[in-house]
Amino acid sequence: MQVTFLGTGTSHGVPVIGCRCRVCLSTDPRDKRWRPSILLRSGSGAQVLVDTSTDLRAQALTFGVERVDAILFTHSHADHIFGLDEVRRFNALQREAIPLFADRRTMDDLRRTFSYAFDPRTPAGGGLPELRPFVITGPFCAAGAEVVPVPIRHGSRTILGFRIGGFAYLTDCNGIPDESLALLGGLDVLVLGALRHRPHPTHFTLEEAASMARRLGARQTLFTHMCHDLGHAETCATLPPGMTLAHDGLTIQIPV
């Protein structure tokens, strides 16, 4: 399986509007971070999008995404769902509705936020996303991939990470319940949110994320959902072996 990081930033993205800090002014392309999302490509060529970020159109154009066979949602915060309307272009290219998978709360939020796309009374046409919603209640199959939902904490809310084979994606996280830790053994690659150095009520700090990564013991850990406090090169130089920051456009191969 191939994993492409479409965005590794926070809800503000990096650079941040109106900020002239060292990272926001950096010329290192790895310090440019769109809102968080990844694309999974199976050996058969099926492509699964995890979250429809606010930057989906730009991500698709930049990284050559021309097909989406399924969409998985971690949760319904704006930076993870507000690109959903862009899916209508994939509908036009593929001439079919696209399955999307989310927990009940996220699905309810999607139906409310994008009511026109889910309302059967809305006239059909090329201006609407065509979606086939499925509520996640346990492990499921998406575009031929076996997916295990992993409940994680995001502040007071429980959201979802996902495990596929030896790969797990846990963004927007500040805690992992014991029952979810049991789902994360033997990982080849762990992707874990690591916002910044300073404490935050709904996200791991880099130090907290590194501690959790050591506990989980994945062969490789990539951090995502970084704000402009973390410059890529200087931060990576401080991390233990086997841990690094991801960056937009990074593509890795995962055995499944």
Task: Give residue 48's pLDDT.
Answer: 98
Question: pLDDT tens digit string along 129-172?
Answer: 999 999 999 999 999 999 999 999 999 999 999 999 999 999 99
Spatial distance between the Cα atoms of 232 and 227, rounded to a whole number of angstroms: 11
Task: Give residue 255's pLDDT.
Answer: 83
Task: Give residue 122's pLDDT.
Answer: 78
Q: Which residues contact 41 (CB under 8 A, 6 or more apart)?
A: 1, 2, 3, 4, 47, 48
Task: Give residue 113's pLDDT.
Answer: 97
Task: Give residue 123's pLDDT.
Answer: 72
Task: Give residue 126's pLDDT.
Answer: 59
Spatial distance between the Cα atoms of 114 and 111, rounded to a whole number of angstroms: 5
On whether the CB atoms of residues 5 and 246 are closer than 8 A, the answer is yes
Low-confidence residues of the chain, pLDDT below 70?
124-126
Task: Give residue 127's pLDDT.
Answer: 81
Is 47 in a helix, a strand, or coil?
A: strand
Question: What angle (nearest 5°) sits at the alpha carbon of residue 59, between those of residues 67 and 256?
Answer: 55
On whether the CB atoms of residues 191 and 222 are closer than 8 A, the answer is yes
Helix H, strand E, coil C: the string for 201-241 is: CCCCCHHHHHHHHHHHCCCEEEEECECCCCCHHHHHCCCCC
Element at 60 (helix H, strand E): helix 56-63
Look up residue 227 and give its two tokens. 């704000």
Element at 41 (helix H, strand E): strand 37-41
Task: Give residue 125's pLDDT.
Answer: 64
Spatial distance between the Cα atoms of 204 and 194, rounded to a whole number of angstroms: 5
Task: Give residue 186's pLDDT.
Answer: 97
- 227-241 core/surface letters (b: 16 or more CB in 10 A; e: else): bbbbbbeebeeebee
Task: Give residue 149's pLDDT.
Answer: 98
Spell out the domains of the chain, with CATH numbers in brackets. Answer: 2-253 (3.60.15.10)
Question: Of the candidates 196, 197, 192, 254, which has an alpha carbon nearest to the alpha carbon of residue 217?
Answer: 192
